[in-house]
Amino acid sequence: MSYVVGIDVSTTGVKAIVVDERGHVVGSALTQHSWDMPRPLWVEQNPDDWWNGTWRSMRRVLTEAAIDGRDIIGVGLTGQMHGLTLLDKSHRVVRPAILWNDQRTEEQCDEIRDVFGRSELLALTGNDAMAGFTLPKLLWVKENEPDAYARIAQILLPKDYVRFRLTGRFATDRAGASGTLILDIAKRDWATAILGAFGIEKSWLPPTHEGPEVTGHITPEAAKWTGIPAGTPVFAGAGDQAAQAIGVGASHAGTLAMTLGTSGVVFAPTDRPIVEPGGRLHAFCHAVPGRWHLMGVMLSAAGSLRWFRDELVPTESFDVLTREASHVPVGSNGLLFLPYLTGERTPYADARARGAFVGLTVRHDRAALARAVLEGVSFGLREGLELLSAAGVDKTCEIRISGGGARSSCWRQILSDVLGRELVLVNTLEGAAYGTALLAGVGAGIWASVDEACSATIKVKGRIEPERESTGRYEQVFSLYKELYPALRHISHELSRYAESY
């Protein structure tokens, strides 16, 4: 039996899974890591934590699955997108990586629009300038840390730093590169006009590759750390959302992936690049060669529930909280939650947007608060889905749901009722790690194409139908939810500036 490994360098840890040639997961290991928030709006991480998590997870999964490393025929990489990782000419890390949910670059986003033009930027990259993207972070370093900027010799995304440690080579995938705001999505390569406009050396950027392409091989040094033999090919893989979509079978138009992870994502594959005129959706290359996708992203989805649990009821499990929430009526007894705990992207690209409970009274207990969180996130995902439909995505396409939040039957039903749509569960639970393992399997020759890999391995295992009465009641609550951001925007911005002044 031959095997492939999928590695997911996420915000909270590094997962490694082993998948056999029939598509079965035979082992999984996770090494957790933390992040730093040295100032309001800032989120940073030590790149060495990614590498340490990678080799530890790879060693543990091989041991626990009793797999001989010599039977591994390929490794695929995925991970958090947008993070700015800088190396100097000696390949040393210049400064902590600035992550996808860092919101410090409001001024740089305005600068990008002023210099390049918003419509021109949308036409070329498929995206408006948003604080989470890589280019604004790079300009922030240039303007605020000139000594660090002067040392730059290489710019990498988080998973591609791990790729470098595994192979000694610099490379990235085109789905992940789409989230830098430096990629020409139609040509599927770096945009020379962007490089010229902002004085970025092309030599700082790694070559781009399609998801199933070989980008290097395990070095003898990496083999000592990981237990996978030197010479094993490492494939391009994908940014985490494209890999997550592959992991649930959303490789082609007609199937939509919805993810309830730390962030919340609605992801629609397309056969051509489609740009939403308002810039409220992301237009990226897919991990499938020659395909693209439209994507809406809310920054705090299951992350909102984690915040609620960790800060308010840290002794309780998520299962207890969602079970209690299931007994609260639709609308949480008149309580609304705005899930903008780390700013927002879709439908409002606003780094200073803030979360809120609205309608709070003494009759609201923790069960009502928990349900309000579940409903607020579901409303946010509905707004993203409505934008996809307005951009031309088929309103009848199948919605496949995944992510940690999707493990809750209560949350799944709330989401189905809020959307008024059937949701589909599939047999795969490993998400992005599984998707990148399939990409490695295609590259290694187990399957002839990504579509074939998905068809052979991913099966529907359940369906959640909306309850008509609940869906009708949610229409009224959703109309109130949509009024929250416009009503609170000014206060949120002023409170954000107040917090930054200390």
**Which residues are annotated as catalytic?**
240
On whether the CB atoms of residues 370 and 227 are closer than 8 A, the answer is no
User: What stretch of H or E contains 399?
Assistant: strand 398-402
Q: Measured in whole angstroms, how far is the alpha carbon of residue 21 from the centre of its chain? A: 27
* In 46-148, beta strands by DSSP E: 72-79, 85-87, 97-98
Q: Tokens at residue 147, please?
A: 């000594």
The SS3 call for residue 391 is coil
* 337 φ, ψ (degrees, to nearest 5): -125, 130
Q: Is 229 exposed, middle or buried (0-12, 13-18, 19+ CB in 10 A)?
A: middle
Residues 17, 25: Cα–Cα separation, whole Å: 7
* 22 φ, ψ (degrees, to nearest 5): -95, 0
On whether the CB atoms of residues 425 and 401 are closer than 8 A, the answer is yes
Q: Tokens at residue 158, please?
A: 């988080």
Q: In sequence order, which residues have a C-beta less than 8 Å from that of residue 248 and are 6 or more positions away? A: 257, 400, 401, 402, 426, 428, 431, 435, 458
Q: In sequence order, which residues have a C-beta less than 8 Å from that of residue 434 and are 6 or more positions away? A: 6, 17, 19, 25, 246, 247, 428
Three-state SS letters, 300-359? CCHHHHHHHHHHHCCCCCHHHHHHHHCCCCCCCCCCEEECCECEECCCCCECCCCCEEEC
* The amino acid at 381: L
Q: At what angle do helices 409-419 and 468-500 cross, to 10 degrees?
A: 100
- What residues are paired with 8 via a beta bridge? 15, 78
CA 237, 239, 241, 242 torsion: positive or negative?
A: negative
On whether the CB atoms of residues 464 and 45 are closer than 8 A, the answer is no
Q: Tokens at residue 191, please?
A: 């945009």
Single out the residue of 244, 252, 357 nearest to residue 297, CA to CA: 244
Residues 125, 457: Cα–Cα separation, whole Å: 33
If one counts every other C-beta atom within 10 angstroms of the C-beta of residue 348, the result is: 16
If one counts every other C-beta atom within 10 angstroms of the C-beta of residue 125, the result is: 28
